[in-house]
Amino acid sequence: PIPAAGQAGPAPRRATVGVDVGGVTVGGGAAVVVQSMTNTDTADVDATVAQVAALHRAGSELVRITVDRDESAAAVPRIRERLERVGVFVPLIGDFHYIGHKLLADHPACAEALAKYRINPGNVGFKEKKDRQFGAIIETAIRYDKPVRIGVNWGSLDQELLTRLMDDNQANGFPMTADAVTREAIIQSALFSAELAEEIGLPRSKIILSAKVSRVQDLIAVYRDLAERSNHALHLGLTEAGMGTKGIVASSAAMGILLQQGIGDTIRISLTPEPGGDRTREVQVAQELLQTMGFRQFVPIVAACPGCGRTTSTVFQELAEKIQADLRKNMPVWKTKYPGVEELKVAVMGCIVNGPGESKHADIGISLPGTGETPAAPIYIDGKKAATLRGANIAAEFEAMVASYIEQ
Ligand code: SF4
């Protein structure tokens, strides 16, 4: 829906049944939750503990880990314990494929240590084993009082269901395109599995759904349909989003549109890491998406101009980046000392054209001198000119003023 003229802001959040995941509420009107996933071998306890802790410290409110074999299932309680010893209490989600029913049955300490189980209905079992093995995981979830995410992915879609829908489509003279049938199969797989879980006895307040695809328009279409056809809490994610800017842009475009329409209770940005890249980048992107859209506030906003031919130096861009990095680094401590500090707005601008105006809109802002301008940088605090900086130490002096403003 397009907002009426003069109106701004997203559509009201879709009403969903809230799910408690180890103390973090997903859906039911709660703020959209940021989650991420490790890429370590879960059986490697040291590496997994380090990465979960890093993801959590970066802001991930839930962290998913792969549980693919006995060794990784056995490692899960040790990971949980080691994290708690270093003060990291982030809920852990176990990602199960193919043999989740068996791993959960054989490793009760793993079943207990996890805050949620992710089940993929496309590979939980085939033919007559499918419902039985799916049912076994649901019964474990009931026994340990854990929620589940029924996570459909078009890369591992239930082939029996897809074939049946394709056959029906053919028998009816192809009223739907093949892509539309695939999307319908994804949605039905999620909804039928949720229905089955509820029949077995898992309440809706323990079920989250996801239906991930890798194309932006398909993702939007699938989630809009899913949101219309159920009130389950929804996990959003564009699967195989890709590397670098492509992954960020594709995920932001797809999820931004859905969130604007009130759809989505938790998000994960799936970025393919660059070799040696920082896994926490996906958390930062998820936070920035939610923050730039006005859904949540994690770190102070730094408004910086892009720079142009009116400025010959990159001082202001370097300063903007440094201020943003310092604020992010100090935020965990500042948040405990200065409640509401994440609402701060800082402006770092490159010349007189938009500098003073943008700075006045911020809590604290600097307008650096552009080419040919008087070498002076006016500082604005709470909308009023508060000082003028000159000389070679403008950047350091402004940083000190930001820190002092936060303390005051
Ligand atoms: Fe260019 Fe000045 Fe605008 Fe920055 S504020 S983009 S330096 S005109």
* Chain mean pLDDT for the chain: 92
Q: Model pTM? A: 0.89
For 382-398, the pLDDT digits (tens) are: 999 999 999 888 888 99
Q: pLDDT grade, residue 174 (50/70/90)?
A: very high
pLDDT band at 114 (very low <50, low <70, confident <90, very high): very high
Q: Is the CB of 355 under 6 A from ligand 1?
A: yes
ipTM (interface pTM): 0.98
- Copy the structure tokens of residue 25: 């509420």
Nearest CA to ligand 1 atom 7: 350
Where are any strands of DSSP class E within 296-404?
301-304, 345-349, 364-367, 377-381, 384-389
Do residues 50 and 44 make contact, with C-beta atoms less than 8 angstroms apart? no
Ligand 1 pocket, mutate which of 313, 353, 371, 373 (most atoms under 8 A from CB): 353
Task: Give the pLDDT band of residue 31 (cuts 50, 70, 90).
Answer: very high
Q: Answer yes or no: is the C-beta of 308 below 6 A from any ligand 1 atom.
A: yes
Query: Residues 304, 308, 314, CA angle at the centre, nearest 5°?
Result: 65
Residue-level pLDDT at 312? 61
Which residue reads 């839930």 in tokens?
A: 62
State the pLDDT confidence band at 343, using cuts at 50, 70 and 90.
confident
User: How high is the pLDDT of residue 2?
Assistant: 63
- Ligand 1, atom 8, residue with closest C-alpha: 353
Look at residues 167, 116, 170 and name the one whose alpha carbon lies nearest to residue 141.
116
Distant-in-sequence, close-in-space partners of 387: CB < 8 Å, separation ≥ 6: 378, 379, 401
At residue 1, does pLDDT exceed 60?
no
Residue 314 has pLDDT above 80, yes or no: no
Closest Cα partner for 319 from 347, 287, 298, 343? 347
> Is 110 one of the annotated binding-site residues?
no
| Residue 358 assigned as binding residue | yes
What pLDDT score does 322 carry?
85
